[in-house]
Amino acid sequence: MVSTKSATDTNSGLQYLPKSTERDKEISPNQELLPLTAKVNNLDHLEIGGWDVTTLVQQFGSPLYILDEHTLRTACRQYRDAWKNYYPGESLVLYASKAWSCLAVCAICGSEGLGIDVVSGGELYTAVQAGISPDKIYFHGNNKSQTELILAIETGCIIVVDNWLELKTLANLTNEKKSQLQSPIKIMLRFTPGIECHTHEYIRTGHLDSKFGFDPNQLNDVFTFLTEQPLLSLIGLHAHIGSQIFEVQPHQDLANVMVDAMAKAMAYNLPIKEINVGGGLGIRYTESDDPPSIEAWIQIISKAMVDACTARQLPLPKLLCEPGRSIIGPACVTAYTVGSEKQIPEIRTYISVDGGMSDNPRPITYESLYRVVVANKLSASLTETVTIAGKHCESGDVLVKNAMLPVTQPGDCLVVMGTGAYNYSMASNYNRLPRPAAVLVGNNEVNLIIQRETYEDLLRQDTLPTRIVIVEDSI
């Protein structure tokens, strides 16, 4: 028998299961703690995508990223369909691949009709190798190298120009390559919209004191410059306010700011066709997080954009957004194996797991909060308050402080939820830990999408100068 969450399950891991697995079309993945397919099976184990998490760990080892294809595809479709339902003009959703750039994730997003936002030559290469058409790849970044710009031009993706150096470099490069260019290269302009939002200081980008984008006061000069560049075709404007945002007001305000900038560009005879409002929709990491649904977010932005254009009697642009976290974040969990325990009477009990800040650097970087369950004791009462520590030589290497868990033993399988975004993509080899494997569950299959690194992988880029020989007793 497979059951889902019920009203009596509030003091066990069952409380974290999605509201219902029958009506998952209405569920916005970013409002759930676990992937939409999460269930408890008759062994009292957590199942994701029809697979017992403990079996996956036995087969693939731990730590293990477990990515649920259904949840990922649902988020992609909800974004795509909401634009279609609420915005009368053309639209496109880009997946912000900085959240997790790998072949499988890019290819799945691409197969749902999404384009990809990339911020480096490496992410661009990944998107291209995943089969994404270059005209659906948008290249961001505040300090793209000349090599990256040349790669972008050769690939034929759209370049989101961030600053004067980049703009002038592109003008020079296109002039040098004039004879090889079939048509002008397509660019967008990123500017800082001067909009504040309430999120962590490190992930706010829309306020004026930000390293990203042109200052709005520079726009007139930039537009003048562009009128003299026949090889650079300005197709649109871009702004991004920040990440993990729960309010909708900042994006409503953004629509007005962007349409004003569009009107300004049009006064220079630069026909802006696209507006990209960035990403930023938050997800539920803990019960107290209350983000709007994907549909509500899109509906509000669509209305704000239509109102802003109508008020200024401007045609509706093609509308783009580029969510990362809300697409991939809720679709993945990380499974660990419980190891040592340290009880400090009256102070704290530490339970250590076999990963930590190298596979999830968010708690130590942003003090991010996560929820955790014991996957092999899902309905057991939560009687213990413990701190889940990683295995790194660093006191701050704590994944979850004061987690409520049942009694645990070494070997138990612990699952941290909501780890799809900015976990693998920010993972490191600190303390020379091999980066974990990732599996994709869905379609009645398990697919290994990223192999676990080996010790040989860790040494792959190392070289030992030949004159340095290790001789015993040489000191």
Where along the sequence are the contacts to ligand LLP (CB under 6 A)? 96, 98-99, 117, 140, 203, 205, 240, 243-244, 278-281, 322-326, 362, 366, 421-422
Contact 415, 335 (CB under 8 A): yes
Q: Are 101 and 449 in contact (CB under 8 A)?
A: no
Backbone torsions φ then ψ of 343, nearest 5 degrees = -100, 125
Shortest Cβ distance from residue 282 to ligand LLP (Å)? 7
Nearest alpha-carbon partner for 278 in 96, 90, 31 = 96
Residue nearest to ligand LLP (CB): 279
What does the alpha-carbon distance between residue 381 and residue 104 come to, in Å, rounded to a whole number?
37
76 a catalytic residue: no
- CB nearer to ligand LLP: pick between 30 and 62: 30
Nearest Cα to 321, choosing from 80, 105, 139?
80
Q: Would you say 57 or 197 has its CB closer to ligand LLP?
A: 197
Of the pair 357, 378, the CB lying nearest ligand LLP is at 357
- What angle separates helix 164-176 from helix 219-227, to the nearest 10 degrees? 10
Among the listed residues 76, 157, 321, 393, the single catalytic one is 393
Beta carbon nearer to ligand LLP, 39 or 240: 240
We find the least distance from the C-beta atom of residue 330 to ligand LLP, in angstroms, to be 12
In angstroms, give the least distance from the CB of 81 to ligand LLP.
18
Reported as type and span, the H/E element at residue 321 is: strand 318-321
Alpha-carbon span 355 to 130, nearest angstrom: 28
Residue from 16, 71, 69, 117 nearest 326 by CA: 71
- Give CA separation, 66 vs 143, 403, 412, in Å: 33, 21, 17
Residue closer to ligand LLP by CB (options 4, 210) is: 210
Q: Using only C-alpha atoms, what is the Rg of the chain? A: 24
Q: How far is the CB of 165 from ligand LLP (least distance, A)?
A: 18
How far is it, in rounded angstroms, from Cα 110 to Cα 95?
9
Q: How far is the CB of 296 from ligand LLP (least distance, A)?
A: 15
List active site positions: 393
